[in-house]
Structure 1
Amino acid sequence: MVRFSNNLIGLLNLLTLLLSIPVIVGGVWLSKQGSTECERWLEKPVIALGVFLLLVSIAGLVGACCRVSWLLWLYLLVMFLLIVLLFVFTIFAFVVTNKGAGKVVSNKGYKEYRLGDYSNWLQKRVNNTKTWNRIKSCLQGGDLCYDFHHQFLNYTVLQFSKQELSALQSGCCKPAEDCQFIYNNSTNWTKGTAAYNNTDCDAWSNDPNILCFNCQSCKAGLLQNLKTDWKKVAVVNIIVLVFLIIVYSIGCCAFRNNRSENWKY
């Protein structure tokens, strides 16, 4: 029974070590295959995560199975810091995604999104020109509005108005309802001659490379997507936190066993 906690920690870290290998391979593959800035940006965090898992797993595996107390102590320290960071991030994710939601448009199947409805912290991130240009290139490179255009190309204005669009489609691929543009097709609209109160109306272009990617509504659509994803991540984080706390507790037992055996010798 004394050795059970050591063996269990060793087994868990062996599984984590095996998991880190495909993560590292995936990061290297992205670096070779990535054709857009989004994919090239993603490779570094993926490789860093894989290397981190590999090193921590080796420390826990050797520390528990070979009775190397200082390695197991280092492993427990890293685990403790990871638990704290994950807890802080989970709270932060809930706080910054608490505000913001789509506005229902009368007689329309889709919603529209306003940047001012979201948290100030998120607004500052997307209002940074350098950051937004990087995000915009990712959205354009991902064929978001190209697919949108072909999906609704032959729809009448009535058919189009009944569609349930995603936040990004609504914010980036079509003009705001305030503009009152004349519908030609899903990504082609005729502007009126009146002055617009909504700055997104002037930012709109029928150029498929521009559309509403420079609009505030596009930034809001991205934040709505981000809010949805972060909510899901936060729930997963809670589950991971419970698992890490259990592993940390078993690790503490293994560390105590190591110290007890060292005292005996």
Structure 2
Amino acid sequence: MAVSNNLTAILNFIAFMCSIPIITAGIWLASKPDNECIHWLRWPVVFMGISVLLVSLLGFVGAYWKKEGLLGVYLVLMAILIVLLLVLLILAFVVTRPNGEYHVPGLAYHEYRLEGFSPWLRNHITSSDYWGRIRTCLADSSICPKLSQEYITPNDFFAAHLSPIESGCCKPPTICGFQYTSPTSWISPSNQAVDADCFMWNNDPSQLCYNCNSCKAGLLGNLREEWRKANIILIVTVVVLIWVYLIACSAYRNAQTEELFHRYKQGWA
């Protein structure tokens, strides 16, 4: 039984180490300017990582001090956490699979269409119930103002690899035919294209294109890129956790069998 407990303790140390990349990925996501404006998306991965850390510590304590009750609780809780992580991964993959970006010839950056993204994601982030708060948060951020410091000439700007949110919120859509003055200041043409975003653009730094569909699409594009990067870390970590959990279950069963066999021998003695 001592061998099984030692093995379980080692496995829980590995699970403890797995919590570190989960927490790191969650903090990275939460630190992004766009996620700062969407509060309910900021911390779920961090909470999951902390939960894995605490549960793995519980399992380590149970194995090291031979507390079978704690090991049983650990196995149940870890199974729940693995299921929740799998659900989070599947949900994140499904809602970030559609991609609303399109390439504008002659420009280094892409632009984004709202219709190209997941309907669920669109409805939960860009609806009128949420967008007012998100729009205010984006306008108060440094996302657009910093572009004027980074790009001076039109050539610099049009050759820049803008993030989706910079492309969608900080400038008018290319189809509108505006003339470049600075990254956040544009001259309206005499004949604008028939696109609602063209009429929403305003050179006022507090307005810009924050009310545009292109800005909403840019925000979704940013979320998509960030969550798909985080998913790579989460997938690898979940695979390791499942492997650790299956071996821990086997070690726990072996320990139970050894204990029953030991009691059976004592009874006959």
TM-score (norm. length: structure 1) = 0.80
Specify the alignment match of 1:176 in structure 2: 173
Specify the alignment match of 1:127 in structure 2: 126
Specify the alignment match of 1:38 in structure 2: 36
**Is the alpha carbon distance of 1:99 and 1:17 closer, same or farther for their aligned partners in structure 2, counting shifts above 3 Å?**
closer
Specify the alignment match of 2:160 in structure 1: 163
State whether residues 100 and 217 of structure 2, in contact with CA within 8 Å, keep that contact through their aligned partners in structure 1: no
Q: Which runs of 4+ in 1 moved over 6 A?
A: 17-20
- Residues 73-120 of structure 1: CA deviation (Å, up to 9, x unaligned): 221112222222222332332222221142111222222111111111
Give me the whole-angstrom Cα distance separating, in 2, the residues matched to 1:234 and 1:64.
31
Query: How big is the shift at 1:189?
Result: 1.1
Deviates more, 1:195-204 or 1:44-53: 44-53
State whether residues 4 and 252 of structure 2, in contact with CA within 8 Å, keep that contact through their aligned partners in structure 1: no
Deviates more, 1:121-130 or 1:170-179: 121-130
Counterpart of 1:116, as a letter, is E
Cα RMSD (Å): 3.3
**Is the alpha carbon distance of 1:111 and 1:48 closer, same or farther for their aligned partners in structure 2, counting shifts above 3 Å?**
closer
Query: How big is the shift at 1:45?
Result: 5.0
Q: Give 1:76-115 correspondences, 5 Å limit.
A: 76-115=75-114
Specify the alignment match of 1:33 in structure 2: none
1:116 aligns with 2:122: no
Query: How big is the shift at 1:235?
Result: 2.3
Give me the whole-angstrom Cα distance separating, in 1, the residues matched to 2:89 and 2:49.
21
State whether residues 9 and 64 of structure 2, in contact with CA within 8 Å, keep that contact through their aligned partners in structure 1: yes
State whether residues 69 and 258 of structure 1, in contact with CA within 8 Å, keep that contact through their aligned partners in structure 2: no
- Structure 2 gaps of 5+ residues are 264-269
Deviates more, 1:86-95 or 1:222-231: 86-95
1:212 to 203, 209, 214: 209
Give me the whole-angstrom Cα distance separating, in 2, the residues matched to 1:112 and 1:94.
22
Give me the whole-angstrom Cα distance separating, in 1, the residues matched to 2:249 and 2:171.
56
Counterpart of 2:208, as a letter, is L
- Residues 165-190 of structure 1: CA deviation (Å, up to 9, x unaligned): 22111111100112112222211112
TM-score (norm. length: structure 2) = 0.79
Counterpart of 1:38, as a letter, is E
Give me the whole-angstrom Cα distance separating, in 2, the residues matched to 1:40 and 1:198.
27
**Is the alpha carbon distance of 1:82 and 1:204 closer, same or farther for their aligned partners in structure 2, counting shifts above 3 Å?**
same
